[in-house]
Copies of this chain bind each other. A is one copy, B any other.
């Protein structure tokens, strides 16, 4: 009941193991007649090549590890889907690990991937693990940072200019006349949060009569957004911001939920709202959400390409690609509520 090996096939076909291997890898080195005989044996025995043995001999696998911060966030789902597609074009598979913003799980996955001798690791880091990643690189496993700029240029990286995105989002609110801006934050040690806030600050600084308030959420989830929103709706009318910029779309969806609950506040008339990431659910929210679109498909694909670069030319300098995010205007910031899509 043991799975058939190349040796079994060789015996069955009456040839040497090397010949079977050639049939699989260099078919035209083998005479037509022999090849047919071997192929028949392969079918008859139900032989499936053992990739583990192949990898051992080759010294590396056909696998790429991807470690994301939150698989429940459509932003990362979308990236991983793109990475998977791009990788499979070159015959590689992507193994997905979900750190869930937990440094221990992150470490666990790095260890696992290194033991599995993956070709490379794409990672959206939770914590500062430059050291661990350098060790990885030193031993030959390539690393590409995803959605995180390379601090010292040690690694290749794909990222999106979050400061610029934060600026764009906030500038848009200011441009439509809002002056009492609030930033709905997530935990500020997430660089995504602090960078977007920095951008918001830059934009507000350009308008002397504008103010920026920070509403602290304790996570980047819908629930956290609702919690922040609930505190907001309790305020006096005059103390409300008229422009809200949320650190991501999940927060923004939670905000919408809270703000529309009592039907006392109108979006965007009373409060205009901008999210970040432009996830699919943002476009299909009941008040379609203006958001900052990140090219997730490009991010995933580029990560794979940067990795391929490193693999093809081991001495290549790491390269960083930074995308510019784009504003997508929808009903949550447009007074004339057009219903077009």
Contacts and interface: CB of A to CB of B under 8 A. Distances in A.
Interface size class of A (residues with CB under 8 A): 35 or more
A254 interface: yes
A48 B285 CA distance: 48
Interface in A139-183: 139-140
27 contacts: A2-B140, A46-B138, A48-B111, A48-B115, A50-B56, A50-B115, A51-B116, A52-B55, A52-B56, A52-B116, A52-B117, A53-B56, A71-B81, A77-B77, A84-B98, A88-B108, A93-B95, A95-B95, A222-B284, A223-B284, A226-B284, A253-B284, A256-B286, A257-B286, A262-B339, A281-B281, A286-B287
A1 B95 CA distance: 25
Nearest to A136: B48
Interface string A1-14: 11100000000000
Among A81, A96, A112, A287, the most chain B Cβ lie within 10 Å of the Cβ of A96
A223 B284 CA distance: 8
Contacts of A55: 52
Contact of A81 (B72, B74, B135, B281): B72
A74 B71 contact: no
Contact of A71 (B52, B80, B115, B287): B80
